Amino acid sequence: MEYRTLGKTGLKVSEIGFGGEWLERHDEAESVELLKYAHEKEINIVDCWMPDPKSRDIIGRAMEGCRDSWYVQGHIGSTYQNGQYVRTRDMKFVRPAFEDLLERFHSDYIDLGMIHYIDSMEDWNNAMNGDFIKYVHELHDKGTIRHIGLSTHNPVIGKLAVQTGFIEMILFSINPAFDMRPATEDLDSMFGGYDKDELSGIDPDRAEFYQMCERENVGLTVMKGFFGGALLDKERSPFGVAFTPVQLIHYSLTRPGVSSILCGYDTKEQVDEAVSYETASDDEKDYASVIAGAPLHSYTGQCTYCGHCKPCPVDIDIAMVNKFYDLATAQNSVPESVREHYKSLKHTASECIGCKGCESRCPFDVKIADRMKKTAALFSF
């Protein structure tokens, strides 16, 4: 298993994580065993947005004796009222729900205290003004939550979260289909029908959000990486083709700022399939050819950092150079952090010999040689 640093938190999280929302569908002992099996496979991060006692008890039992080797995303504002999940900022429900989480986990702390599921500006304003956010900071000051996070499906909210300075990581929904949809406060609309005009490359708000996270060192963990399973099914996929789990995992892990993708599992075999990413070949990880060969697709002219451009005769890491170019050009001036990271590359764009061999391999017809010239000029000052 490979591990990545989760932004400002400094935590080393497994690239493949555990999204816990399916645990309650199975017998408790079976789900406990599934989580333990995932841990044996070196998965060390789990998300618990679920407020129901069964899901929380399962995770708590699975972590017995090894709590310190798990990193938990525990949500604040996800409550259980009259046997139903309710998202709220009302402290008469928020506080007891979070205390219940600690009790069922047999723990006095949560690694990542997640401000739960904000997609609208109204909810953002409610959460960020008043007793709710005071409670979050109180928990952080006491060490009850080690780090402050937030979950959202809306890149506009995500950008606001980055700008707070105190939110260290974000749980965000990422997959090739979602990336083509504009920001919305209505999550359900993201699962609706896609037409060809909408599949026109990554949405600018989402691209800017990823760049902000990378630049400001706000870590990303990924939910909904498989689009509710639709991207695994040719008939339901907006692209008209099916992806494999490994391809979709690779897509998420190549987005700027991403540290871990939290997959949902029903069986040990599904855990094995996700973890097989770590030993998969480049061909098995290749999502770009699937998108480029789909009946409905775009991305033409856009670098997706897929790595098809390799190998370079002078050993330039072209995908990384393109990422730094995109990060730099998103600002009025090149951020010093981006400049320093670029300078640390073993080979930079100024070494490009203009052979264009990379362009012949690019699935999206990116004019790479031109980008290398622009990048060299951009970072020459």
Q: Which helix (H) or strand (E) holds 289?
A: helix 288-292
Whole-number Å distance between alpha carbons of 181 and 283? 27
* 76-105 burial: b if 16+ Cβ within 10 Å, else e: bbbbbeeeeeebbbeeebbbebbeebbebb
- Give the pLDDT confidence of 156-183 residue by residue, as tens digits: 999 999 999 999 999 999 998 888 766 6
Nearest Cα neighbor of 326 from 361, 355, 301, 309 is 301
Residue 335 maps to a domain: yes
Residue 303 has pLDDT above 90, yes or no: no
Q: Do residues 271 and 36 touch, judged by C-beta distance below 8 A?
A: no
DSSP, collapsed to helix, strand or coil, labels residue 138 as helix
184 pLDDT higher than 90: no
Mean pLDDT value across residues 331-356: 85
Mean pLDDT of the chain, nearest integer: 89
Quick check: 193 pLDDT over 60?
no
Do residues 163 and 241 both lie within one domain? yes
Using the predicted structure, report yes or no on whether residue 137 has a pLDDT greater than 60. yes
The DSSP 8-state label assigned to residue 51 in this structure reads -
Judge contact between 281 and 242, C-beta under 8 A.
no
pLDDT the model gives residue 73: 97
335 and 264 housed in the same domain:
no
The average pLDDT across 337-344 equals: 83
Question: Residue 342: what pLDDT?
Answer: 85
pLDDT bin (cut points 50, 70, 90) of residue 198 is low
Residue 84: inside a domain: yes
**Domains of the chain: total:** 2
Say yes or no: 255 and 322 in one domain. no
Co-location of 322 and 270 in the same domain: no
Whether 7 and 55 map to the same domain: the answer is: yes
pLDDT band at 81 (very low <50, low <70, confident <90, very high): very high
Count of beta carbons in the 10 Å neighbourhood of residue 73: 28
Question: Residue 17's beta-bridge partner residues?
Answer: 262
Query: According to the model, what pLDDT value does residue 186 have?
Result: 66
Cα separation values, 39 from 6, 42, 223, 225, Å: 18, 5, 19, 20
Residue located via tokens 């080979």 = 347
Are residue 42 and residue 173 in the same domain, yes or no?
Answer: yes
Among the three residues 284, 303, 332, which one is the final residue of a domain in this structure?
Answer: 284
DSSP bridge partners of 80: 85
Q: Which domain holds residue 327?
A: 318-378
Q: How many CB atoms lie within 10 A of CB 27?
A: 9
Residue 13 has pLDDT above 90, yes or no: yes
- What element of type H or E holds 16? strand 16-19
Cα dihedral sign for 107, 108, 111, 112? positive
- Confidence label for 98 from pLDDT (cuts 50, 70 and 90): very high
Q: What is the pLDDT of residue 190?
A: 58
Report yes or no on 311 lying in a domain: no
152 touches 119 (CB < 8 A): yes
Mean of pLDDT values over 188-208: 66
CA 179, 180, 185: angle at the middle one, nearest 5?
75
What does the pLDDT look like over 361-373, one tens digit per residue? 887 778 899 899 9
225 with 366, same domain? no
Residue 299: pLDDT over 80: no
Among 61-70, 80-89, 152-161, 358-367, which stretch is predicted with the lowest mean pLDDT?
358-367
Determine, yes or no, domain membership for 252: yes
Average pLDDT over residues 67-87: 95
More confident residue, 320 or 92: 92
